[in-house]
Structure 1
Amino acid sequence: MKELILLKCGELALKGLNRRTFEEVLMKNCRRRLETLGNFKIRSAQSTIYVEPENEEIDIDEAVDRLSRVFGVAALTRAAIVEKDFAKIRAAAPGYLREALEGARTFKVEAKRSDKTFPMKSPEICMEMGAALLEAYPRLTVDVHHPDVTVYVEIREVAAYLHTDQLHGAGGLPVGTSGRAMLLISGGIDSPVAGWMMAKRGLEVMAVHFVSPPYTSEFALEKVRTLCKKMSAWCGRVRLVVVPFTEIQEAIRDNCPEDIFTVVMRRMMMKIAARIARENGCGALVTGESLAQVASQTLDALACTDVASDLPVLRPVIGMDKDEIVRIANKIDTFETSILPYEDCCTVFTPRHPKTKPRLGYVLEAESRLDAEAMLACATENTRMETIG
């Protein structure tokens, strides 16, 4: 029996006159996610996107799995395509729904008749389909309040569709509809989660990572590449910018008070990231900072680093505790990679007693001892970019 995948758009339905623009981006993102599986016919109608394989050899289970991680999809289900003839719909249902119904004790039928020319009304469809399924599976009983399985019959403009309960999708907005932002990715737990959260709100995510050889190893960079690959399963392709940072960190160590090493380092990272972001059409920076999690993430420290960037700094995990962040990291499969013991440059020259309430004047005076502009220009000019996913 021929099948397709029905995608429900959720929040996109609230976009009014702009809805079609959002749907077009969502369909483009779906095509990209499925392009290595084969050819699909993708169209939208009535707040639903239809994803139809063009040949039977396509792995539809894998297609469902990939589409479940596309932002903008609120719910999805695989469904049988049946001619709009109730006798044919009734005949197809017991066989197509066998796997779901054989493991159930109770069920109900819901009908949606978008094509008002169809001769049967929704209550009649439900009653007749329920009778057919009870005849095929006599041990079942009907429970309209808390059924084990809900059977859906949708009569739409082109065909009828049979399916059972929908899967939850990724939700949010299609990536690319809210602009582009630059994620400062360290290799820890928090920053991939922050990138994922902003992609869910429609941002296309680029990433910037700072390396400090010989203090950091190639393994640390490979860890970040793996994190970007795992993020790409949700966010689409991720462009990763790798920035050499050794010279700047050594200059900070040699010229600045130890208690503000980290704050000055973060300011330098912000300045470099903002330059690269502007060059690549990004409208904001994204970080994984959580308020008061470490000394460099107190209000005073964040105030000192914020003024180093002329772009907005988005911190989606700012009010979350570690357990909440870890829960999302496990969901998006980044946690086990994030805890691999390969240190990134944020751990280089860590102060023994970091200042938790740095004052901007004190930080700027220390920073003035550096030839900051020359170092920033050198670091920016010697970046390398790679596309992951």
Structure 2
Amino acid sequence: MTFDHILIRLGEITVKGRNRNRFETEMLKQVQHALRGFPGLTFIRTYGRLYIALGNEPYEPVADRLKDVFGISSFSPVKRVEPELQAIREGALAVMRSFPQRKATFKVKVSRRWKGFPHDTMAMNHLVGAHILRNMPNITVDVRQPDIELHVEIQEQHAYIYCEVVPGAGGFPYGSNGKAVALLSGGIDSPVAIWMAMRKGLEVEAIHFHSYPFTSKEAQDKVVTLAKRLSYYAGKPFKLHLVPFTDIQTSLAQSKQDHLIITLMRRSMLRIAQRIAEKSGALAIVTGDSLGQVASQTLGSMNVIGRTTDLPLLRPLVAMDKLEIIAMAKRIGTYETSILPYEDCCTLFVPKSPSTNPNLRVVERIENGVPNLAGMIAQAVEGTETIELRPDDPAPSDRAGEDDWF
């Protein structure tokens, strides 16, 4: 095996000041947890970096898991050698020979972090490059646009040699920035919004509204599958709150205000979400709103809907268009489930001409006229079923629906 270690680079964590140690400690814990199925690995933490000694473990499956761990900016398979000239030159040659033997150009880029090393950076670039040229006749130098960029990082204890830089998920370690609840429909948007919130270090508990018997068991199973997929990225048990919404939805429909029914339902959903958040210790509500995508996501609609909660409303998708959201859904593996043709409660009463600029006073007057709306909201919270979903191990193979809520 040419490569015996993996070098992990931390993303936004490195801009932290006094809290940096806490974030790096949490990052190490999450990497260890994500790779718990590989007992032969050894983990090494240094300032701003993590290293994994592969031992006898194969690189590819370890790398596949690392790609989905939040907080990792990028990583590289590396060969570790002694910080000594001949060892570095032989290690660099071994790394270059790991590529298919063909005509190619290369460039050596040495980073001399240990200033006590006897050769300076420019000298090392030449000494390593010359050794490769003597032993690989098909290789030539191109310092501007090389086919292969060979990196040599010299530290006091070891030198690390690598060529490949694999992008990671980025963001912050899961749960390192607090907790939020998130509205999860069976559509394309909301799982992507939740993934993006998780990527920024939020621990998320999902909330799904169902209207049995108007919605089917298949529709609920679809949401459970989506939540299970999200639990894989969390790397730990993922809570899904299933809220009975039938009584509220039918009562709002009886108000005969078809053009405002979406606004009315979403306001009730946020009231329920705030109560669940307060019980769970969450400090924000995440939604899948994308500005202008549908009638309930115009600025006027979002203003009226959002006034029902005191908690911050986080909208990770607000500036994304539908094609971008679909591409992200495919990448995180939720798209194929989201497009399954099972309706959720939000598609049952969609009017032909929904209001795009509702009047707050009119909406509040209609709500005041709905008998026992506050009581039904309390009953819905009380009747909520909470389930914990755990990530499948190994990760689901499906890498990769309609509008969110409505």
Shift in CA distance, 100/229, structure 1 to aligned 2, threshold 3 Å: farther
The residue identity in structure 2 corresponding to 1:189 is: I
Q: Check the 8 A contact 1:256/1:366 in 2, yes or no.
A: no
1:320 and 2:320 correspond:
yes
- What is the CA–CA distance in structure 2 between the aligned matches of 1:172 and 1:270, rounded to whole Å? 27
Q: Check the 8 A contact 1:271/1:309 in 2, yes or no.
A: yes
Aligned pair count reads 387
TM-score (norm 1): 0.93
TM-score (norm 2): 0.89
Q: Check the 8 A contact 1:6/1:49 in 2, yes or no.
A: yes
What's the secondary structure of 1:43's corresponding residue? Answer: strand
- What is the CA–CA distance in structure 2 between the aligned matches of 1:151 and 1:247, rounded to whole Å? 64
Q: Which residue pairs with 1:345 in the alignment?
A: 345
Among the aligned pairs, what percent are the same residue? 41
CA shift at 1:274, angstroms? 1.0
Which stretch has the larger CA shift, 261-270 or 121-130? Answer: 121-130
Gaps of 5+ in 2: 392-406
1:154 and 2:145 correspond:
no
Alignment of 1:11-30 (within 5 A): 11-30=12-31
Shift in CA distance, 28/104, structure 1 to aligned 2, threshold 3 Å: farther
CA shift at 1:129, angstroms? 1.5
Gaps of 5+ in 1: none
Alignment of 1:290-301 (within 5 A): 290-301=290-301
Which stretch has the larger CA shift, 288-297 or 138-147? Answer: 288-297
- What is the CA–CA distance in structure 1 between the aligned matches of 2:212 and 2:86, rounded to whole Å? 71
What's the secondary structure of 2:336's corresponding residue? Answer: helix
- What is the CA–CA distance in structure 1 between the aligned matches of 2:123 and 2:286, rounded to whole Å? 53
Q: Which residue pairs with 1:254 in the alignment?
A: 254
What's the secondary structure of 1:16's corresponding residue? Answer: coil
CA shift at 1:328, angstroms? 1.8
Q: What do the CA deviations read for 1:258-299 (whole angstroms, capped 9, x no partner)?
A: 222211111111011111112112110011111222122222
What's the secondary structure of 2:72's corresponding residue? Answer: coil
CA shift at 1:230, angstroms? 2.9
1:9 and 2:10 correspond:
yes
Which stretch has the larger CA shift, 343-352 or 93-102? Answer: 93-102
- What is the CA–CA distance in structure 2 between the aligned matches of 1:292 and 1:280, rounded to whole Å? 31
Shift in CA distance, 215/152, structure 1 to aligned 2, threshold 3 Å: same
Q: Which residue pairs with 2:41 in the alignment?
A: 40
- What is the CA–CA distance in structure 2 between the aligned matches of 1:236 and 1:360, rounded to whole Å? 41
What's the secondary structure of 1:17's corresponding residue? Answer: coil
Q: What do the CA deviations read for 1:47-98 (whole angstroms, capped 9, x no partner)?
A: 2111223x41x23212112212222211110111222333223223333432
Alignment of 1:154-233 (within 5 A): 154-233=153-232
Q: What do the CA deviations read for 1:315-371 (whole angstroms, capped 9, x no partner)?
A: 121122212222222222222221111111110122233222221222122222131
Runs of 4+ residues over 6 Å off in structure 1 = none
- What is the CA–CA distance in structure 1 between the aligned matches of 2:38 and 2:206, rounded to whole Å? 27
- What is the CA–CA distance in structure 1 between the aligned matches of 2:168 and 2:174, rounded to whole Å? 14
What's the secondary structure of 1:376's corresponding residue? Answer: helix
- What is the CA–CA distance in structure 1 between the aligned matches of 2:273 and 2:215, rounded to whole Å? 19
Q: Check the 8 A contact 1:256/1:367 in 2, yes or no.
A: no
- What is the CA–CA distance in structure 2 between the aligned matches of 1:38 and 1:379, rounded to whole Å? 45
